[in-house]
Structures are given as C-alpha cells and as structure tokens.
Structure 1
Amino acid sequence: MSSTDSRYLAELRRQTMRTLRGVIGPTTDVAILDAPNQRNVGDSMIWAGELAYIRKLGMRVRYVADSRGFNARDLRAAMPEGVVLLHGGGNFGDLWPTHQLHRERVVSELREYRIVLLPQSVYFRSREAASRANLALGAHPNFTALLRDRESIARAQIDIPSVSVDFCFDMALGFEPRTPTHPSTGRVVVVARRDHEGISGLAEIPGDWLGEADLVRTDWGPIAGIAGLRWKVDRALVKIDTKLVGWRRGRLRLRAIHRISERAIHDINALNIANALRLYEGSDFVIVDRLHAHVLAGLLGIDHIALDNSYRKVGSVYDEYSGRLTTARYATDINSARQMANELMAR
C-alpha cells in the first residue's frame, strides 16, 4: 500500500473512532447482534473492523449472537448493563428481510438498552416495509442508526424519518489485513455477485473475456480442504445453539453451548477472510461488483476496478471516500470495465 493511502486510511479510522465514542458513550461492555455466520467475506471484513474498533475503544464484548441465535434473557444475563450493537453492512431495508426483521425485534425486546446500528446502507423497495421499520425503530427511546453514505442518509430522511441517524465510515476500513507477500503472477481475479443485487453483468463474462489472461471468476466461493471442513463444523455448532436457544431448562449448559457458538462465529469469519486473502494473493489486479471486494483490494494495495450493484451501494461509498484510494477505479458498465482492464494489462 502506498504511503498516501496509509495516511488516508489512518485519518478515516481516527474520524470513525470519534464518531463511535460519541454515539456509544462511556460504556465498557457491549453486545453484538446479527453477527455474520455465512460465506460473505464483506460481512466478515466488517466484523473484523468492528472488533478492531471495539478493542481500541477499550470495550469488552460480553455477548454475541446471529439473527437466529439471539435471546433477550441470555443477553441480559451476560450483560446487565452496556450498549447493544447491531452489525453493520448492506441489509438495512427490505432486500434482506431476515436481518431487518431481526433488528426490529431487538429494539422491541431491549427497550432498556442503548442500541446502535453500526454503519449500514439503506434501501427500501416497499413503502409498507419502510413504515413498519420507521414505527419500530423510531419508538425505541435510545436507538441510533449509523449510515455509511450520504445517499443512505437521504433515503432515511424519506423512509424512516422518526429514526435518529448519523454518518460513519464503513467498519471494514478499520480492518488491517496482512499485506501480500507473493509477487504478481499475472492472474486477474473477478469477484461477481450472483444474487438479486447483481446487475453489472460481471458474473456472465466468458473465460476469454480478457483474451489470454489467467481469469479467476468467483463470488466468494467455498473454502477448500481442512479449512473448509472446519468452517462446516463451526456452522453446525452455531445451528445447534440456535435450536437450543428457546429451551429454558439446564440454563448453565445452554450458556456453555452459546459460548462455543460465539467462538464458532469468530472462527467462521476468520476463515472467510483467510480464504479471500489467498484468492487475492499474487493477483495482478481484480475486477469486482461487491463493495467489500473493492475495499479489500484497496486495503491490500492491489489495483482494481469496481462496478456497482442494483442500488448504488458501491458507487455511493466509492464517490464519498473509498474511491480516493489510489488503486481504485470505477466502471459504469461492463464495457468500460473491460477497457480499463486492458489498460491495466498493457502497463
């Protein structure tokens, strides 16, 4: 990474620390809910950044649960006082309803806690869903939603006007990955969405899209080998805890199982990140339409080209701050991305 980018990231992190101190307040204990436990490396990078900021703020994580493993009584037992943090990302709205319904449940069940939604993008397609979210979140006496781009803040003013919001840089920028140790091999990595947010066309490019270039195409693919087996075991442990979360007999045993589940969640995210770092290792440059595939390339100092998702989640963050990284380029369509890629190969 260039010294210019290092200084820029250091300033973003300082500003983020100031924002978090202001909105979380003088607590020492926090809980993190909606913790990621799937293959999305972007969520794992956000998670890593969240934990890094929490450590720097001198706070202790007393309780962790994903959207299905949360139990209000267990949280109160583990953290009688403190602040509840909801995991950041790009699922504030109705495109990913499981996460939105979870946070609406959390604010209804934990009215005595200060609750902070860590930086998110906001997008509602349905007026009904937006109104429900506005009613639920706005009714909490001490809830703040941190939003990671000005377009989301503008949407929030329309869709959830009763909710207190503030700006904060994306949490993944607090993640400091190890720098690449292998020289470039000429390989070009393509990370392309294959879900309902993907509109760039990057997922459909053929293997010879860049001629003779060694093109590796993926969408944060599965983890191979022993690490992949470990990932599956971790997922199974989290699922066992989820099934037992409503069972109120044998509470000591239940808490012990939940502690195992919390460790498994940490391991799942560490394995995701390690797999992404292996994918990027030795690449000449990368082409992506996932926000955090772009962020990871920037953090590693790798040249890259970013395209957008269905509602400018990438573009809005890129335009405001992540696009200032010297390795970043933004393509408005697949043809301009190909032209930029050819220019990078011709250097």
Structure 2
Amino acid sequence: MKISTPEKITEHLHNALSKVGSFQSCAFLDYPAHPNIGDNLIWLGSILYLTNVMGTKIKYATSKSNFSATTLEEKAGNSPIILHGGGNLGDLWPEYQNFREYIISTYCDRPIVILPQSIYFSNSANLKKAADIFNRHPDLTIFVRDNRSYTIAIDAFDRCKVFKAPDMAFQMTGLPKIPDVNKSKSSILYHCRQDKEINEQFLANILEIPNLLVEDWVSYKWKFGHPDKRLSRYGSQLFRELWQKGLANPSEWISRQKWQYLHPYSPVFKQIDRPSIHQYSWSLMHSGIYQLQQHKLVITNRLHGHILCTLLQIPHIFLPNSYYKNESFYEEWTKEIPFCKFVKDTSKIKSVVQKFLADS
C-alpha cells in the first residue's frame, strides 16, 4: 500500500503502538533537556499519543540527568515505564544508551516500552552488552523506525517484543501552519546538522547552490549558559528570552505567545507531571515550524527537518546522515510523499533543486 500522506503514516503509527494495549498510568523517561528541536518533537508527539489516544496518565516525567529512583517510586509507584524514542539506541550517543540500559536492568518488575528508535551500533561488543540486558527483562517492548533497525532488533533482542513503527512526531499530523510568517518567494534553506551525524559528502560548499542560506535548528543559536553556574544560567536565560526570542524578532514573539497560550493542544501539558518542561518543548516546536516555513524550498540532512516539512507540506530535499538512519526511514515510510525527494548523489542536487523551483 502506498503511504503518500502524513495521515496514512499516522495510521501505521497507531496500528503499531496498539500492540502494547493501554496503561492507566506510566512514567515517561529521558526528556530531551537540550535544544535539538527534533527530539522535542518526538517527545511532544509521544505525550499527545499517551494522553489523547492511549488515555494514560503520565505521573512522572524527567530527563536522564534529573532522574530520581525515589521520585519515581513516590509519583508513579510500579507503573509501566515508557522510554523516549529517537535515534540514539546504540553506541553513537552512549550517554542515552547507558541510561536506557540502567533503567531496563533496574526495573524488571514492570513493563517497559521503548518508543520508535533507529538502531546503530558500530561496535559488536556494545550490541552484545545491550542484548544481554534487554533480553533479561521479562516484559520489554521495542519499537523501531526502519527495516534495518528491525533486522538488528529481531536478531539481537530475540526475547523482547519488537515492532516497526513510524516516528512519534507523526502523532502531530494535521497541525496548521503558523499564520503571518514572512515567506520569501525565492529563498532556499540548507537545514544542516553540525554534529557527528553529519555526512561530510554533503557539506554546504559542495552543493554549489547560489544564495543558499545554511543553518541548523535556530535553537542552537540561543544562549544557554553553563548549567552548573547559576549566574551564567540566569543571565543567559534573560538574554535568550528577552532578546533572542523576543525583541530581535517581535512578530515571531507575538506568534509564539498565541501558539503557547491559545493553541488547543496547550492545555494538555498542564495535566502532566512537570508541565513547564513540556510547555518549553512546545515553544521549541513553534521555533522549528517558524524557521522552516519562511522558505520556498528546504534542503535538510536532519530526519526531523524532513518530518516537519512533511507534516507542513513544505517542498524539500532530504539528504543522508552519517549512517543509514535517514535513507532507511525514507524508504520505509515517506518515499511516496510527492513534495519530497531523497538525494544521495551530490551531483544531482542542483538539478533536483531546479525541478522543484520550476514546479512551484
């Protein structure tokens, strides 16, 4: 069956997740306490699924750095644990995998669900270690986002329940675009990640596209300050909230206030443990939408640049990352989307750009 619309992808998401049944309550762990907008989109989609579709009360929500076994017990008792999805099941981002393995090895007395992940291990010993921990858990369910991850999981995590599902951000299919965004008639954005997942065959200077605006998620420009130094943290927050997210672009600030307080989804976050962190993620989502909506065409090597453009029906070109994550997700779920093209040959990017511009 062709999966040619975001709505159809959402149907696949719901069909897959329904296999775990429903929980009356849960603890939702590994909140993305960093400015990567993509990870925050996953978190938000997960919240909306757990609360609006599954009818689950999230009694405890926390990041890995703020996790407390005592608080988990006090707030959630022996409720099932839900672990955040994304692209960090493996050894590329070890701090998240270490936390996941700790939780799974510690809490064998309750069901644990890992929401849709891409799996990548460069070291077979690390995969074996993860498999030993995962397979010892009596009730662990793992959702994966693509066929290559599914093959790894079925082989390595053979005592776990493994299912394929799209990314949790597709729970937000149908979101309206943000009104009153000043959209350029000709601008092209290269939404380019700058971390260890970048594929260096696709650096901006290699693309040879004139007047190309190159930037990562806008949130990476914001000032955050050192988390252990209170004065630095508070000063950075003041500068960020008053200037970078406010006075420097007043029209976006006004739009964000409407999004924060008038959007029908906003009240959902007040009903969950630690509402301020979810509301902050909601604000980050506005920033991501606002950033991408300004451009006639987007080129992106970020999976959630691709997913957000798909949700918003923004024409875009999708490029590989450092391993198979982007291409495998595209082949599994989004290759029939008519306003997107995955390009893995740098020599073809210019002609695909010209075709998109001619068709618009």
Q: 1:20 — aligned with what?
A: 17
Structure 1 runs of 4+ with >6 Å offset:
231-237
**Structure 1 unaligned runs (5+)?**
241-258
Per-residue CA deviation, residues 309-341 of structure 1 (Å, 9 max, x unaligned), is: 122101111011122222110101222222211
**Distance of aligned partners of 1:290 and 1:106 in 2 relative to their CA distance in 1, 3 Å threshold:** same
Give the distance between the partners of 1:335 and 1:121, measured in 2 at CA. 28
Q: 1:269 — aligned with what?
A: 281
Cα distance, 1:236 vs structure 2 = 8.5
Give the distance between the partners of 2:72 and 2:110, measured in 1 at CA. 11
Q: 2:324 — aligned with what?
A: 312
**Distance of aligned partners of 1:194 and 1:46 in 2 relative to their CA distance in 1, 3 Å threshold:** same
1:66 partner amino acid:
S
**Distance of aligned partners of 1:286 and 1:114 in 2 relative to their CA distance in 1, 3 Å threshold:** same
Q: 1:298 — aligned with what?
A: 310
Q: Does the 8 A contact of 1:46 with 1:171 survive in 2?
A: yes
Q: 2:149 — aligned with what?
A: 152
Q: Does the 8 A contact of 1:302 with 1:327 survive in 2?
A: yes
- CA-atom RMSD, angstroms? 2.8
Give the distance between the partners of 1:111 and 1:334, measured in 2 at CA. 48
Q: Does the 8 A contact of 2:36 with 2:219 survive in 1?
A: no
Q: 1:321 — aligned with what?
A: 333
Q: 1:253 — aligned with what?
A: none
Give the distance between the partners of 2:220 and 2:290, measured in 1 at CA. 10
**Distance of aligned partners of 1:141 and 1:260 in 2 relative to their CA distance in 1, 3 Å threshold:** closer
Three-state SS of the structure 1 residue aligned to 2:296 is strand
Give the stretch that moved more between structures: 110-119 or 193-202.
193-202
Give the aligned length: 315
What percentage of residue pairs aligned between the two structures are identical?
A: 27
Q: 2:42 — aligned with what?
A: 46
**Distance of aligned partners of 1:267 and 1:151 in 2 relative to their CA distance in 1, 3 Å threshold:** same
Per-residue CA deviation, residues 187-229 of structure 1 (Å, 9 max, x unaligned), is: 11111121121115434327x9322x4x2211213367xxx57
Q: Does 1:286 align with 2:286?
A: no
Per-residue CA deviation, residues 134-193 of structure 1 (Å, 9 max, x unaligned), is: 011111111111111111011223444443311111111112433153455321111112
Give the distance between the partners of 2:353 and 2:23, measured in 1 at CA. 48
Q: Does the 8 A contact of 2:317 with 2:341 survive in 1?
A: yes
The 5 Å alignment of 1:75-154 reads: 75-154=72-151
Three-state SS of the structure 2 residue aligned to 1:113 is coil
**Structure 2 unaligned runs (5+)?**
234-270
Three-state SS of the structure 2 residue aligned to 1:116 is strand
Q: 2:236 — aligned with what?
A: none
Give the stretch that moved more between structures: 14-23 or 59-68.
14-23
Q: Does the 8 A contact of 1:234 with 1:265 survive in 2?
A: no
Q: Does the 8 A contact of 2:22 with 2:56 survive in 1?
A: no
1:276 partner amino acid:
G
Give the distance between the partners of 1:95 and 1:157, measured in 2 at CA. 20
Give the distance between the partners of 2:322 and 2:95, measured in 1 at CA. 19
Give the distance between the partners of 2:282 and 2:331, measured in 1 at CA. 29
1:77 partner amino acid:
E
2:209 partner amino acid:
L
Give the distance between the partners of 1:142 and 1:105, measured in 2 at CA. 15
Give the distance between the partners of 2:82 and 2:91, measured in 1 at CA. 20
Give the distance between the partners of 1:50 and 1:235, measured in 2 at CA. 29
Cα distance, 1:89 vs structure 2 = 0.3
Q: Does the 8 A contact of 1:234 with 1:264 survive in 2?
A: no
Q: Does the 8 A contact of 1:40 with 1:220 survive in 2?
A: yes
Q: Does the 8 A contact of 2:111 with 2:139 survive in 1?
A: yes
Q: Does the 8 A contact of 2:6 with 2:310 survive in 1?
A: no
Q: Does 1:32 align with 2:28?
A: yes
